[in-house]
């Protein structure tokens, strides 16, 4: 159901959008919702042959304030945060927590129009459902065409436990708002006196669950994606897709994921990243 989430609209006040993304990321990082997806992400990075991540739709910094600790520098050396509506203050706090391993772009980066200089494995946490099927497929196709790996990770879902937990998010927001940094009296105003922030978190959280792609729908989106050359013809290089659900966290929140990365061209020699054996890519 491709409904409209309030904080995504261009007319939505930027300061409120920043407060909402700040509070949401604080809650998700506190309960470590995305911790369980570190293994499939680590596996995808290894097969993609890169240790650099370009995070799209990063919001308030995404899960990286905590998730980067799950990776050593050999597996993940550099993370770039980007967003169409960048929350600069949140990006600065996230980078400060991780030293030089996390950087950010302060200009607007549209997930559908990624600058050529942003090379690396692309990730989207909690935002892929914002894109209608044609745009979602275009994001996957763009990664394949550029020869970059991509990972989609979604905590919202059409699961009863997820919907019940979404109902608790406004209460969690009331609890964390005074401790979200930097402290702002305006945040207190829009949380307690005029409770717009918890209300939008509730409404958009429910809409996210209704909009999110299921594993079967992700499979259908990826099914016809093939790397293409500049002339639009298929390049002959395959793309490996992996789709699954992880729910091993403390709250057992099911997190749906899709990862993809280029396969070696048939006949080329490569090193299997899992076994370190030298192999020849099959046709």
Q: Which residue has the higher pLDDT, 119 or 159?
A: 119
Low-confidence winner among 37-41, 71-75, 224-228 (lowest mean pLDDT)? 224-228
Nearest to 136 by CA among 111, 117, 108: 111
Domain contains 24 = yes
- CA 98 vs. chain centroid, Å, equals 18
Q: Which residue has the higher pLDDT, 122 or 178?
A: 122
The helix/strand/coil state of 15 is: helix
Give the confidence band of 212 by pLDDT, cuts at 50, 70, 90.
Answer: very high
Domain contains 1 = no
Percent of the chain topping pLDDT 90: 60
Per-residue pLDDT, averaged over 141-169, amounts to 91
Q: Which residue has the higher pLDDT, 29 or 258?
A: 258
Strands 255-262 and 150-154: antiparallel
| Sign of the torsion angle spanned by Cα atoms 9, 13, 14, 16 | negative
Diameter over CA atoms, the chain: 66
Residue 268 has pLDDT above 50, yes or no: no
Q: What are phi and psi of 99, to 5 degrees?
A: 65, -135
Per-residue pLDDT, averaged over 271-282, amounts to 46
Nearest to 45 by CA among 278, 240, 218, 219: 240
Domain contains 192 = yes
Residue 258 and residue 218 in contact, taking contact as beta carbons nearer than 8 Å: yes
DSSP state of 180: S
Number of helical (H) and strand (E) elements in the chain, helices listed first: 9, 9
Check residue 269 and give its pLDDT. 43
What span, in angstroms and rounded, lies between the C-alpha atoms of 179 and 26?
A: 9
Low-confidence winner among 28-32, 106-110, 227-231 (lowest mean pLDDT)? 227-231
- Strongest mean pLDDT among 92-101, 215-224, 251-260: 215-224
What span, in angstroms and rounded, lies between the C-alpha atoms of 265 and 118?
A: 23
Give the confidence band of 232 by pLDDT, cuts at 50, 70, 90.
Answer: low
Its pTM stands at 0.86
What span, in angstroms and rounded, lies between the C-alpha atoms of 50 and 122?
A: 11
Per-residue pLDDT, averaged over 118-136, amounts to 95
Strand partners, 121: 53
Per-residue pLDDT, averaged over 83-99, amounts to 88
pLDDT in tens, 169-178: 999 999 988 8
Q: For residue 58, what is the domain's CATH number?
A: 3.40.50.150
Residue whose pair of structure tokens reads 């006949």 in the numeric block: 267
Domain contains 84 = yes
Give the confidence band of 270 by pLDDT, cuts at 50, 70, 90.
Answer: very low
The helix/strand/coil state of 3 is: coil
Number of structural domains (the chain) is 1
What span, in angstroms and rounded, lies between the C-alpha atoms of 150 and 257?
A: 11
Which residue segment(s) compose the domain that 139 sits in?
6-280
> Is 282 exposed, middle or buried (CB count within 10 Å of its CB: 0-12, 13-18, 19+)?
exposed
Nearest to 16 by CA among 209, 207, 184: 184
């Amino acid at each position: 159901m491709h409904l409209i989430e309030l904080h995504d609209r261009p007319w939505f006040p930027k300061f409120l959008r920043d407060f909402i993304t700040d509070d949401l990321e604080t809650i998700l990082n506190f309960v470590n919702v995305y911790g369980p997806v570190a293994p499939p992400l680590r596996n995808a990075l290894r097969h993609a042959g890169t240790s650099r991540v370009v995070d799209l739709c990063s919001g308030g910094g995404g899960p990286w304030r905590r998730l980067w600790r799950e990776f050593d520098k050999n597996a993940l050396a550099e993370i770039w945060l980007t967003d169409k509506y960048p929350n600069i203050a949140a990006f600065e706090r996230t980078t400060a927590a991780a030293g030089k391993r996390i950087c950010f772009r302060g200009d607007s980066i549209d997930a559908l129009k990624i600058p050529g200089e942003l090379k690396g494995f692309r990730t989207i946490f909690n935002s892929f459902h914002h894109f209608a099927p044609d745009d979602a497929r275009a994001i996957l196709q763009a990664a394949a065409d550029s020869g970059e790996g991509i990972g989609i990770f979604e905590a919202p879902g059409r699961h009863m436990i997820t919907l019940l937990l979404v109902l608790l998010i406004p209460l969690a927001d009331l609890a964390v708002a005074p401790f979200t940094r930097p402290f702002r009296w305006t945040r207190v105003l829009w949380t307690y006196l005029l409770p717009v922030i918890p209300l939008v978190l509730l409404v958009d959280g429910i809409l996210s669950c209704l909009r999110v792609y299921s594993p079967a729908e992700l499979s259908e989106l990826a099914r016809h994606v093939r790397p293409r050359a500049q002339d639009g013809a298929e390049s002959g290089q395959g793309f490996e897709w992996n789709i699954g659900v992880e729910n091993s966290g403390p709250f057992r929140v099911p997190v749906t994921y899709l990862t993809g990365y280029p396969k070696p061209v048939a006949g080329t020699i490569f090193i299997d990243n899992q076994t370190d054996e030298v192999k020849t890519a099959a046709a």
